[in-house]
Amino acid sequence: VKAVLKRPSNAATIRTDLLAVLLAGPDATLPAAAQALDTKMGGALARAIASGIATAKAGSGTLVPAPKGVPAQAVVLIGLGDGERDDFEAAGRTLGKQAGEARAARAAVLIPDGTDAASSRALVEGTSYGAYRYLPHKAKDPQAAPALSELTLVGSGISSAEVARATATAIAVSAARDLVNAPSNHLTPSDMAARARRLAAEIPGLTCTVLDEKALRRMKAGALLAVAQGSAEPPRMIVMRYQPQGAVKGKKLLGLVGKAMTFDSGGISIKPSSHMEDMKMDMGGGAAVIEGAGLIARLGLALPFIAIVPSAENMPSGTAVKPGDVITAMNGKTIEVINTDAEGRLILADALTYAVREGATHIVDMATLTGAIVVAIGDVYAGLYGSDADWTDAVKAAGETTGDLCWHMPMHKGYDPLIRSKVADLSNSSNKREAGSVYAAQFLREFTDGKPWCHIDVAGTAMIGGAGTGFGVRLIAELAAGMAAKR
Ligand code: BES
Ligand code: MN
Ligand code: ZN
């Protein structure tokens, strides 16, 4: 969805397929800007509110067909709740969904006076989210109307720069959702790399280098190679770098790391077949990092970064890594593979080592790492772990600003017995069924060389109801924007 800005004097004259009017709580008063429109509609809007059909409940939507003489095809009354940022996002999602159902290609929305920029952006992002469909593998329907492609914002409180930022954000989130939704036979590690390369080709200042098997062997990336060795698909380590024009080198370097298992069968420690198809989403962290990195560069934020996305497929075969095997990670630490299904922490181990070696000063990784975090906190919050209080606070705040909610989870050396091995430096899994998400984080920390680092376990939030969410893209861009402003 591309958002455009207009300031027409009269809502009754807006030519569009679907015109949204937002109803603020508690008593859902019709905004003044919609009064003339309602008059032209014979009072239908006021009646819908008076009868209680249309309410201010956040995200509720009531479609009212427009009569002849009104250039909009239909009006949708959307509840705005208390008018918080999240309510604007929910209102947008409803608008996007209604536009899909009404087969509207163009929509417009009246922005209430006094709406702040963050809320206006949330409205655009929500609309794009609600209108999103994943259809590349469906037969083309010749009757199908084009999806919502243009959203006109009507109001005075938002600048065209903010609108452009919201549009770029919505496009990046949709792109991450496409990656998560893509079946693993259509999105291999090489395909992930191709996507990163394309972004780098499009955006000034952004470069991409892809390390193949040979390069990974030369670098002794033993953990990533071990995870990939059971699959016919070769692994990749995708490296994106951004050096904005005029930014001073050598101060802060943001390190973004994202897990990208394009399919996780569990390997020899194979998963149960029920819902195994969802494991095409095990690259959700990597998708957020690639598209988040692209968004930072697209917005031209004045903050250099390095983004590292290790990508592989976890498969059982005659060449697969086996329980009990001892492997050597890139930093020289040995790992006993107790469970081949705890593969994410292995590929991240080498990616974190690489980030540190490349000079990252502040690291954040995103990964669909554990089922345990889903059991603990479900799909509302992602689990946030950190080694540095200030950095963790910054990551958490960026999530709160953008709606990518993160809950701060504990780390403590008291959990370390769970990552100890009798035969190697570390064990990738414990047979105790406790603190599964915590000790995964504890394991990752071993590869961060004491740098300020955060880990976000997005196993519960990257895919909801079988569909990718793009969780993390906006958090990454917001985090970078905050760091750029402070430099
Ligand atoms: N990719 C999974 C985690 C996952 C589970 C993501 C559910 C999304 C939804 C990860 O690789 C995994 O299998 N983790 C194991 C770790 C265990 C073997 C220590 C798990 O959570 O069961
Ligand atoms: Mn696994
Ligand atoms: Zn996995």
Q: 221: CA distance to ligand 2 center in Å?
A: 19
Q: Confidence band (pLDDT; 50, 70, 90) for 250?
A: low
Across 106-121, average pLDDT: 94
pLDDT greater than 70 at residue 238: yes
How far apart are alpha carbons 466 and 288 in whole angstroms?
A: 17
- Say if residues 115 and 155 touch (Cβ distance below 8 Å): yes
User: How many CA atoms are closer than 13 Å to the CA of 126, on its beta-carbon side?
Assistant: 25
pLDDT on residue 467: 98
CB 307 less than 6 A from any atom of ligand 1: no
Element (H, E) at 319: none
pLDDT greater than 70 at residue 249: no
Q: Confidence band (pLDDT; 50, 70, 90) for 9?
A: low
- Tell me the residues surrounding ligand 2 (ion) with CB < 5 Å: 264, 341, 343
CB 342 less than 6 A from any atom of ligand 1: yes
How far apart are alpha carbons 118 and 162 in whole angstroms?
A: 9
Q: What confidence tens digit (pLDDT) does each residue in 64-74 have? A: 999 999 999 99
CB 105 less than 6 A from any atom of ligand 1: no
pLDDT on residue 228: 99
Enumerate residues 6+ apart whose C-beta is below 8 A from 469. 177, 180, 461, 462, 463
Element (H, E) at 313: strand 305-314
- Lookup: tokens for 372: 């345990």
Q: Whose CA is nearest to atom 9 of ligand 1?
A: 459
CB 374 less than 6 A from any atom of ligand 1: yes
Ligand nearest to the CA of residue 457, numbered in listed order: 1
Q: Whose CA is nearest to atom 16 of ligand 1?
A: 342
Query: Annotated catalytic sites, by residue?
Result: 271, 345
CB 457 less than 6 A from any atom of ligand 1: no
pLDDT greater than 70 at residue 248: no
pLDDT on residue 268: 99
**Probe target for ligand 1 pocket from 283, 341, 421, 426, with the most ligand atoms within 8 Å of CB:** 341
How far apart are alpha carbons 321 and 331 in whole angstroms?
A: 19
Of 273, 275, 347, 272, nearest to 312 by C-alpha is 347
CA angle 330–331–337, rounded 5-degree value:
65
CB 461 less than 6 A from any atom of ligand 1: no
**Atom number in ligand 1 closest to CA 370:** 21
pLDDT greater than 70 at residue 36: yes
pLDDT greater than 80 at residue 45: yes
CB 459 less than 6 A from any atom of ligand 1: yes
Q: Confidence band (pLDDT; 50, 70, 90) for 140?
A: confident
Q: 90: CA distance to ligand 2 center in Å?
A: 33
Q: 208: CA distance to ligand 1 center in Å?
A: 29
Q: 394: CA distance to ligand 3 center in Å?
A: 27
Ligand nearest to the CA of residue 428, numbered in listed order: 1
How far apart are alpha carbons 43 and 62 in whole angstroms?
A: 15
- Say if residues 55 and 28 touch (Cβ distance below 8 Å): yes
117 class by beta-carbon count within 10 Å (0-12 exposed, 13-18 middle, 19+ buried): middle
Q: 174: CA distance to ligand 3 center in Å?
A: 22
Q: What is the pTM of this model?
A: 0.97
**Atom number in ligand 1 closest to CA 428:** 19
Q: Confidence band (pLDDT; 50, 70, 90) for 486?
A: confident
| Cα dihedral 119→121→123→129 (10° resolution) | -140
| Cα dihedral 171→468→460→61 (10° resolution) | 80
